[in-house]
Amino acid sequence: MSGPDGGARRDELAANLARVQARIAAAERAADRAPGEVSLVVVTKFFPASDVRLLAGLGVTDVGENRHQEAAAKAADCADLDLAWHFIGGLQSNKAAAVARYADVVESVDRARLVAPLARGAAEEGRRVDVLLQVSLDPPDHTGERSGATEADLGALAEAVSATESLRLRGLMAVAPLGEEPARAFERLAQIRQRFMQSFPEATTLSAGMSGDLEEAIAVGATHVRVGSAVLGSRPGVL
C-alpha cells in the first residue's frame, strides 16, 4: 500500500479484478451464456475497509463477508458507498437479527431456527433482506460437520422464508466440498436446483463458484460467483 489514496494497492486490485472479469466472461462464452449474465461478489473477509473502498471505486457493487463483527464494522465504515453486502458465513441464531440489520443478502441460511431472528432484524430496520438457502453438497455418506441444509430440508426452509414479510427468497448457495472435483459436485447442485425450482420458480439465484472453481460453477448455471483471493490476494494468516 502506498500513498494516501492507496495507489499501488489500487493498481493491484484493478489488475486482479480485470483477470477475474475476463475469466467470468470466458466461462459465460464457453457455456453459451449471455455476456454479463453472471454477477461477481467480491469476498473481502480479512481485508480492510480501505480495500472495500478501492474496490467500490473500481466498479465493484457487491461484497461478501463471513463473520458478523467484521462485516458489521466494515459495512458501517463503508456506509457512504452504494454497496450490496452479502453475508456468506456460518450464522449463529443469536447473531442472525444483527446480521439482517446491515446485510442486503444473507446467502447462508441453512436451518429453520435462523428465519425468525433474521426476519425480526430486517423488520426492525424496515428493510427487506434477500435470502439464499445454503445447500450442502457433501456426498450422502458424509459423516463430518455439514454446512448447508440437505436437499430434503430445502422445501420447509423455503416455505418458512416465504412466509415472512421482511425476507425474500431468492435462490440457493453452495460451496464445493473439499476432496471432490468441483465439476462433479456442481452437477449435483444443478440437479438439486432444477428440482427446487419446480416448487419455487422465482428462486432463480444460484450462488456458486469461488477463486478456484468459478468456471465449473458458471458451466452449470451459477448466477453469482463469490471470489476472494483471486481479487484480493491470499488472506493474511489463513490458507
Write out the residues near ligand PLP by the rule CB under 6 A: 43, 45, 66, 88, 175, 210-212, 226-230
Nearest residue to ligand PLP, by Cβ distance, number only: 228
Taking the complex as a whole, how short is the minimal distance between the CB of residue 227 and ligand PLP, in angstroms? 5
- CB nearer ligand PLP, residue 44 or residue 166: 44
- 3-state SS string for 83-116: CEEEECCCCCHHHHHHHHHHCCEEEEECCHHHHH
- CB nearer ligand PLP, residue 39 or residue 162: 39
DSSP 33: -
Residues 6+ apart with CB under 8 A from 17: 42, 55, 58, 60, 231
**Which cell numbers hold the place of 99?**
446480521
Taking the complex as a whole, how short is the minimal distance between the CB of residue 45 and ligand PLP, in angstroms? 6
Taking the complex as a whole, how short is the minimal distance between the CB of residue 124 and ligand PLP, in angstroms? 26
- CB nearer ligand PLP, residue 102 or residue 164: 102
DSSP 239: -
Q: Is 8 exposed, middle or buried (0-12, 13-18, 19+ CB in 10 A)?
A: exposed
- CB nearer ligand PLP, residue 88 or residue 185: 88
Taking the complex as a whole, how short is the minimal distance between the CB of residue 52 and ligand PLP, in angstroms? 15
